[in-house]
Structure 1
Amino acid sequence: MIWRNKNKSDKVTSDMMSKQKRYEALVHAWHADIFRYAYWLIKDKSIAEDVVQETFLRAWKSLDSLQDEKAAKSWLITILRRENARRFERKQFDLTDIDDVSVADEIQISHEQGLQHRELHKHIGALATEYREPLILQAIFGLSGEEIATQLDLNKNTVMTRLFRARNQLKEALEHSNEMIGSKNG
């Protein structure tokens, strides 16, 4: 009887260690990308950190449901989007103007590039959510139109149209900004 309980105990311990290793590998591989996406969605570092933490907590709880490791990124993005939606169900947060938020890069970039970088972030942040979200999924995560359609539960043609419009709106906004800068300098 003791021998049988010991075998069960060893198997449970082995299963837990295996799950822990899978989870650690998942966090190591995707934490930075998931946080970056959360920050783009939420635009508040501390709230994004909380949502990412909740995302990985839910991932831990349902790790056994992840059958295909190749789908981990999409799985985590889905969890993150649901966690973000849950925070609106619980409480309405104050909004922060995108002009007040800056994203610091790990490397130091030149002053001119920094200005261009902030200008780009400002214009991306000004896009409507329906255009901004697919653009970020494509630019940050490198998702295809099909993958974005799956993530956002949209038709692929709708996604491609939104990406096209997002890029055009971004291009027009940047051209307008350059014209404004040119008229101030000229």
Structure 2
Amino acid sequence: MISLFGRKRTGPDSVSNTMAIKQQRYETLVYAVHGDLFRYAFWLCHDRQVAEDLVQETFLRAWKSLDSLKDDKAAKAWLITILRRENARRFERKQFNLVDLDTVPVPDQQSLGLEQAMENEWLRRHMSELAEEYREPLLLQVLGGFSGEEIAEILDLNKNTVMTRLFRARNKLKDALDKDTQTRGQHNG
């Protein structure tokens, strides 16, 4: 339909069709990455409620700017970037009480065996002790499943820098494991 000024007008059917397509694209996106986003948000804040709020805000911002997402294959990285920015915004808005990470329960530990739960707790504790520059790329790789290139894009870093940080993070965890193994060996032998 053409208006008096030569512009193409969109009728009500066209608008509702466009909205339906956007809604379907959004729902597919939410369904595909919700779990990954929640896990990453929980690792960032160590609080289930805050993580849920972060994910909800992330999806709200994603809905508002969904048209700017040109490549659906980049959706997960795009959403992680939004989530990281949303997490940073919460620190701009207010101050939070600090929590000792050793006292925060991991939600699904009850369903795991005791040995697996202990290993998860050890890993979580040692990962939280890593400097943020090492911890964040490692979390994105382990929890998010991102490649070095994707992590570099998300963190706005050079790929070689990311790969070096991942290497160092793994080595620091390996050193901590070796140290704990030696300490246990001294007490048992």
**1:70 and 2:81 correspond:** no
Equivalent position of 2:54 in the other structure: 51
Determine if contact 1:44/1:96 at 8 Å carries over to the other structure. Answer: no
Q: Which residue matches 2:107? A: 104
The 5-angstrom pairing of residues 133-144 of structure 1 reads 133-144=136-147
Deviation digits for residues 135-167 of structure 1 (CA, Å, limit 9, x no counterpart): 011111221211111110111111111111101
Partner of 1:3: none
Cα deviation for residue 96 of structure 1 reads 1.7
Q: Aligned partners of 1:177, 1:94: CA distance in 2, in Å?
A: 31
- Mapped pair 1:170 → 2:156: no
Query: Residues 74 and 96 of structure 1: is their aligned pair in 2 closer, same or farther, counting only changes over 3 Å?
Result: same
Question: Does the CA-based 8 Å contact 2:109-2:117 persist in structure 1?
Answer: no
Percent identity between the aligned chains? Answer: 63
Larger relative helix fraction: 1
Matching residue of 2:6: none
Residues 39-65 of structure 1, C-alpha deviations (whole Å, 9 max, x = no match): 111111111111111000000111111
- CA deviation after TM superposition for structure 1 residue 104, in Å: 3.1
Query: Does residue 150 of structure 1 match 2:153?
Result: yes
State how far apart, in whole Å, the 2-side matches of 1:180 and 1:98 are: 23
TM-score of the superposed pair, with normalisation by structure 2: 0.89
Gaps of 5+ in 2: 1-9
Please report how far the alpha carbon of residue 23 of structure 1 lies from its aligned counterpart in structure 2 after TM superposition.
0.8
Measured against aligned partners, the alpha-carbon deviations of 1:78-111 in whole angstroms (never above 9, x if no partner) come to 1001101111111121222221123233883321
Give the number of aligned pairs.
180
Cα RMSD after superposing both structures: 1.7
Matching residue's letter, 1:145 = G
| Deviation at residue 118 of structure 1 after TM alignment | 1.1
Corresponding residue for residue 25 of structure 1: 28
Gap runs ≥5 in structure 1: 1-6
Q: After the TM superposition, which parts of structure 1 deviate over 6 Å for at least 4 consecutive aligned residues?
A: none
TM-score, scaled relative to structure 1 = 0.90
Q: Indicate the residue corresponding to 1:117 in structure 2.
A: 120
